[in-house]
Structure 1
Amino acid sequence: MAGKDELDDCDIIKQGMMVKRSQNKKRFMPINYKQRWFVLTTKNFIYYESESDRKKERGRIKLSSITIIETATITPSPSILSQQDATNNESENGYAFQISYSDINEPQYTLYLITQKLQERTDWLQSLRTVCVDNMGKSERYHLSIWGGKKWQCCRAPSRNSEGCEPCSEWNETPPNSPVIKNGNNNSPVLSLTTVNQIMPGNTPTAKLKDQVPRIKVVTALYPFKAIEPGDLTLVKGCEYEVIDDSQDHWWKVRDEHGAIGYIPSNYVKEKELLGLQKYEWYVGDMSRQRAESLLKQEDKEGCFVVRNSSTKGLYTLSLFTKVPHSHVKHYHIKQNSRGDFFLSEKHCCSTIPELINYHRHNSGGLASRLKTSPCDRPVPATAGLSHDKWEIDPAELMLLEELGSGQFGVVRHGKWKGSIDTAVKMMKEGTMSEDDFIEEAKVMTKLQHQNLVQLYGVCSKHRPIYIVTEYMRHGSLLNYLRRHENSLGGNNGLLLDMCIQVCKGMAYLERHNYIHRDLAARNCLVGSENVVKVADFGLARYVLDDQYTSSGGTKFPIKWAPPEVLNYTRFSSKSDVWAYGVLMWEIFTCGKMPYGRLKNTEVVDRVQRGIILEKPKMCFKEVYEVMRKCWSHCPEDRPSFRVLKDQLATVSQGLLAD
């Protein structure tokens, strides 16, 4: 292995000159910009005083510690570059990017770099993302601009530790403005041969031509999928498939090992290189502590366990069920030492998390029990539509079962599509909605997909009454669920807060896609397996023809969930949804009580217009109630967005209910 001051040329992936912004690890260091020679190897990102003097190493970053690789905006533009170095005139308004990294003994640092040309930045981003693609602890969000001493210049957030304001890129993606060629077999963008040649580890001038062929995208099935419609392809869990066309978001055309070609749901597969922990039954991703406990207690098996993302970003937690001395769930942080090894007890370290899990299957090693089983028969995610490009459903394909409920729009029944897939079928009363407008909108709404939205599968529009076919949620409405389980849920702040966060995530997705719900309430959210809560009936109120339902003066109008601007001017927006969300939170923390009790609608309107808000529920944390109060700001502009609410609730959850 190469020493600190020497490199084996075979390890070098990419190298070149860039301008580096000082990291200012000490509080009062001045900001400066200096040219440095950067070398990317298979394990480290190193920078030197100059290209010629490799003895003067100025710093190195371990690739496994990198959590963010993104473009950056440095304002004001560092025009001092040309003053500091006369050879650097091209970089005066160069192209910036950032690398955030953390160490077991250090906080998170961010290195800002500037290239002279856009293509240089693109190549560095792709090279770094390629070699870091398997890193654990990647961040989900980042700050586009720099910290200005008192606030982030991009989003004005006043805390240096605040979560980023932009979603991070997938590290397998080609960065914007990168050179692409079209693969002859499909429409997927692939890196040009020149770029591929640049980033291949161990690349030499004598590399064979076959090593320069654009990469074939191979995915592994995380869930089974049964092809029912012509043109679809059956997925076998754990098997690999070659992607032929991934130009659509939700359905990809793939080829199996036997040469058969068809469409599969894209959320059922993952690129082979990016699988990470997802291929293991015991990994449950972002499942909260409360839902993990509920799932394991339901299994009721000694040694049953899951591994999940910790409430502290970048870390993982092992949740383990034991009956000794009584039935309960223990939570253990999976830690890393300075060598990067993982451990639950420092005496038993392993180089990977799967190796660590395998070790504790045979040795308790300080845990309450050996790891024995993980929950079986976990539900598969909903697909965006029942098949590729299918949104019109033949009623003859639906077997209607028991009634699930009835309401303003009609009766809802449990259904089976083609005898195999559970659905909920809303049978719309004739004359209750603007049917043609809704049918047109349904084509778009089937493409909305989020783990906290009830999936719209399609409509039966050729006959009357119209059927709206959606994902089936076994526990029904959130309102009824709260009331049925008041004894077990009351006072369980963790589980109730988790329900609020799930609804907020679904609403943040709708907000991002410019959808307004107009009737958000506990009665319009549904509960499925593993205490998953999803928002239902989003946007449906827009097509209702009943004046009693759509006019704020009507008896059916949801007065108790409406903000002042809706009551006064029927002015709906995402901010009116935020007000209703605050009332929904109140419903959750009172286990389904009616807001404002027995007050008449006219009395509620009077209170709302005078700024009188709902009182804090008895068992509710004051920090949670403060979030509700923000939702009820009289002025819409003063209410936070759902994205901000989601971050605030996550912070509250981490502070009050940390692992």
Structure 2
Amino acid sequence: MGCVRSKEAKSSTSKYGPVDLNVTPFNDRTSQYGPEPTLMCHTAAVKAQNNSYNTQTAALTPFGGSSTSAVVPFSGAPTFHPAARVNQFSNAVTMFVALYDYEARTTDDLSFSKGNRFQIIKNDEGDWWQALNLNTGDVGYIPSNYVAPADSIQAEEWYFGKLGRKDTERLLLYQENQRGTFLVRESETTKGAYSLSVRDWDDARGENVKHYKIRKLDNGGFYITTRAQFDTLQKLVKHYKEHSDGLCCRLTTAFLEEAQVMKKLRHDKLVPLYAVVSEEPIYIITEFMTHGNLLDYIKEGEGKVLKLPQLLDAASQVAEGMAFIERMNYIHRDLRAANILVANNLICKIADFGLARLIEDNEYTARQGAKFPIKWTAPEAALYGRFTIKSDVWSFGIVLTELVTKGRVPYPGMVNREVLEQVERGYRMPCPPACPESLHDLMEQCWKKEPDERPTFEYIQSFLEDYFTATEPQYQPGDII
């Protein structure tokens, strides 16, 4: 996915490897974008032939731009569950269950439906296992990341693994979900524990999400309150579906429909890159994002009605993605609302890595004649071509103005040359109408003349995530008093 390559992992391969769309599955895993978490074709042990592609949606985007996209056929695999691996040295037979539908792409594959059960015959050839489909009697290869051991928590539809707290709340508060809709995820704060997240409603807060820590007993059991202990997570969930027993309400429906895709995102704020077509016309193939780019969304789409909390939620997601880029020693160089893509539930991801670059010495000097979006570009970058992660921080400050003004062009009334002259003289955009002073203070920090005085994206992410934090405990108690 975009911009995740560290210096240590730098490859000597070309920047964009050739992709033959007519013969070879998309598996260019040595490009600058780093390895994908899922395989797009068989390993060498299984020769690819007669390849065809499932018609799940992906976006075919002209290289260097993310404002337009087209839907193309593509099959992407969900994130691999390490717990789903079989011990290949064990003689025990473990039954597996399909987590998703799958359509065969070669004559060696098995097509199967969600819920089908398998007996694994051979699993020592990478991430493709030879299996017997117990529902159909067919034998063939299946992608191991589409299955999980039967009766394991990975096989449960309500289990979402490493899903972050904020993403959980965003998903559960989706308008079609009812009170009692729930999911279980790994705890972010306690290793080995889980969190039960439940959509609730009350007079004081209206629609909200309550989180309950599921603790583990020494003997392997689980509990929310010590007076109600269970051998398995499945039994715990079953109990609270039948009785509220101290929770805010009885569990009703596992959160499924609109957010199954979140099982594979794993808190990811960068648009995944699936492949690059290196011949003219050059295209990059990415995940399809339902609502297009953030600028159009807040200016002309459903996002016109968003209030400040939702806008800052979007900003915090962008900051989270940029904090990751910061840690990976990359710079983006073209950060603006038009290059942020939006999916359902206001999920925002950074796109358009056409200008992105790995930096070896904290600074990159652009070649002479390179073109930049002047109104978003830091002065040291626009005037002298010196790009650092701190020039991305400057651009993020401009993105904040785009959000709070619902897509207004930065520096209204000024042409590019005037912007450069005024910024160099110390001019900074004033606080936009209805923008809190504290938020404008953050913008001005991003626009400090000296790059080293600008905040890190890690700080910006923390600042925005805590901006509207209520004085409530991280987890609800097991009993409502």
Tell me which amino acid in the other structure corresponds to 1:529. Answer: N
SS in 2 for 1:591: coil
Which has the larger displacement, 313-322 or 213-222? 213-222
Which residues of 2 match residues 114-263 of structure 1 at below 5 A?
213=89, 222-229=99-106, 234=111, 237=114, 243-246=123-126, 252-257=127-132, 262=141
Aligned pair partner of 1:524 in 323, 339, 358: 339
In 2, the alpha carbon distance for the partners of 1:486 and 1:289 equals 19
- Residues 77-104 of structure 1: CA distance to partner in whole angstroms, max 9, x if unpaired? xxxxxxxxxxxxxxxxxxxxxxxxxxxx
Pairwise CA distance, 1:538: 0.9
For 1:451 and 1:265, the matched residues in 2 are separated by 22
Kindly provide the amino acid, as one letter, of the partner of residue 477 in structure 1.
N
Query: Relative to structure 1, is the Cα distance of residues 378 and 557 closer, same or farther in structure 2, using a 3 angstrom cutoff?
Result: same
Counterpart check, 1:477 vs 2:293: yes
Give the counterpart of 1:499 among 314, 318, 328: 314
Q: Which runs of structure 2 are paired with 1:39-438 in the superposition (5 Å)?
A: 213=89, 222-229=99-106, 234=111, 237=114, 243-246=123-126, 252-257=127-132, 262=141, 264=143, 268=146, 277-284=153-160, 285-289=162-166, 292-293=169-170, 295-308=172-185, 316-321=195-200, 328-334=207-213, 336=215, 348-350=228-230, 352-379=232-259, 381=261
Shift of 1:299: 2.1
Q: Deviations over 1:599-651 (max 9, x none)?
A: 33233223432344344556666665555444333233344454554455556
State the shift of 1:363 in Å: 1.0
Cα offset, 1:286, TM superposition: 2.3
Mapped to 1, the partners of 2:374 and 2:209 lie a distance apart of: 44
Deviation at 1:523, TM superposition (A): 0.7
Cα contact 1:301–1:322 (8 A) shared by 2:
no
Q: Conserved in 1, the CA contact under 8 Å of 2:314 and 2:348? A: yes
| Alpha-carbon separation, structure 2, partners of 1:449 and 1:476 | 21
Q: Single out whichever of 591-600 and 519-528 deviates more from structure 2.
A: 591-600
Is the 1:300–1:321 contact (alpha carbons within 8 Å) kept by the matching residues of 2?
A: no
Q: Which has the higher contact order (CA 8 A, sep 6+)?
A: 2
Secondary structure of the residue aligned to 1:257 is: strand
Q: Partner amino acid for 2:346?
A: N
Deviations 1:578-608 (A, max 9, x none): 3212322332344333323333323322343
Q: Which runs of 5+ in 2 are unaligned?
A: 1-44, 47-86, 358-365, 475-481
Evaluate the alpha carbon distance shift between residue 457 and residue 335 of structure 1 in structure 2; reply closer, same or farther with a 3 A threshold. closer
Once residues 553 and 335 of structure 1 are traced to their aligned partners in structure 2, the CA distance between those partners, rounded to angstroms, is 58
What letter is aligned with 2:289?
A: M
1:501 maps to amino acid: S
Counterpart in 1 of 2:400? 585
CA gap of 1:639–1:477, structure 2 versus 1, over 3 A, is: same
- Partner Cα separation in structure 2 for residue 573 and residue 265 of structure 1: 40
Does structure 2 conserve the Cα–Cα contact (< 8 Å) formed by 1:290 and 1:498?
A: no
RMSD: 4.7
The residue type equivalent to 1:476 in the other structure is: G
Length-normalised TM-score, structure 2: 0.60
Distance across 2 between alignment mates of 1:263 and 1:627: 50
Check conservation: 2:172, 2:198, Cα contact below 8 A.
no
In the alignment, structure 1 residue 453 sits paired with structure 2 residue 270 = yes
Residues in 2 aligned to 1:646 and 1:221: alpha-carbon distance in whole angstroms: 37
The C-alpha deviation readout for 1:291-349, integer Å capped at 9, x for no partner, is 63554442243432233566756562422245999972341433649979755566544
Aligned to 2:73: none
**What per-residue deviation string (whole Å, max 9, x for no partner) do you get for residues 484-530 of structure 1?**
34564213x1x333322322333344445554322111111111123
Q: Which residue of 2 aligns with 1:48?
A: none
- Contact kept, 8 Å, 1:515 with 1:539, in 2: the verdict is no
Within 1, Cα distance between the matches of 2:368 and 2:376? 11
Q: 1:455/1:487 Cα in 2 relative to 1: closer, same or farther (>3 Å)? A: closer
Asked if the contact 2:99–2:147 (Cα under 8 Å) also holds between the matched residues in 1, the reply is yes
Within 1, Cα distance between the matches of 2:223 and 2:377?
A: 51
SS of corresponding position for 2:319: helix
> Are the structure 2 counterparts of residues 514 and 345 from structure 1 closer, same or farther at C-alpha, using a change threshold of 3 Å?
closer
The CA deviation at 1:558 is 1.4
Q: Is the 8 A contact 2:221 2:229 kept in 1?
A: yes
Give the superposition deviation at 1:534: 1.4
Contact 1:306-1:320 within 8 A present in 2 as well: no
Cα contact 1:458–1:470 (8 A) shared by 2: yes
Give me the whole-angstrom Cα distance separating, in 2, the residues matched to 1:510 and 1:597. 30
Query: Residue 253 of structure 1: CA displacement?
Result: 2.9
Q: Distance in 2 between matches of 1:523 and 1:376?
A: 30
Q: Please say if residues 172 and 181 of structure 2, whose CA atoms lie closer than 8 Å, have aligned partners that are also in contact.
A: no
Aligned counterparts of 1:217 and 1:634: Cα–Cα separation in 2: 65
Q: State the distance in 2 between where 1:214 and 1:380 align.
A: 32
Contact 2:334 2:372 in 1 (8 A): no
CA contact (8 A) 2:304 2:406 kept: no
- Letter of the 2:291 partner, please give it: H
AA partner of residue 307 (structure 2): G
Q: Distance in 2 between matches of 1:624 and 1:354?
A: 44
Q: What's 1:195 paired with?
A: none
Distance 1:637 1:215, change over 3 A: farther
Q: Percent identity?
A: 34
Distance 1:655 1:217, change over 3 A: farther
Q: Return the structure number with greater strand share.
A: 1
Name the amino acid aligned to 1:577.
Answer: D
Instruction: Please list the CA deviations of residues 152-174 of structure 1 after superposition, one character each: whole Å capped at 9, or x if unmatched.
Output: xxxxxxxxxxxxxxxxxxxxxxx
Partners of 2:378 and 2:222 lie apart in 1 by 50
One-letter amino acid of the counterpart of residue 610, structure 1: R
Question: What is the match of residue 448 of structure 2?
Answer: 633
Structure 1 spans left out of the alignment, 5+ residues: 1-184, 187-210, 247-251, 385-447, 543-549
**What is the letter of the counterpart of residue 451 of structure 1?**
D
**CA separation of 1:645/1:380 partners in 2, compared to 1, >3 Å: closer, same or farther?**
same
- CA-to-aligned-CA distance 1:559-594 (integer Å, 9 cap, x gap): 121101112112233332232123223323443333
**Counterpart-to-counterpart distance in 1, 2:412 and 2:368:** 19
Q: Distance in 2 between matches of 1:350 and 1:322?
A: 27
The letter for the 1-side match of 2:255 is P
Of structures 1 and 2, the larger Rg is shown by: 1
Distance 2:181 2:154 in 1: 18
For residues 520 and 657 of structure 1, the distance between their equivalents in structure 2, rounded to whole angstroms, comes to: 34
Partner residue of 1:489 out of 306, 320, 339 = 306
Identify if the C-alpha distance between structure 1 residues 598 and 290 changes in structure 2 by more than 3 Å, giving closer, same or farther: farther
Aligned equivalent of 1:56:
none
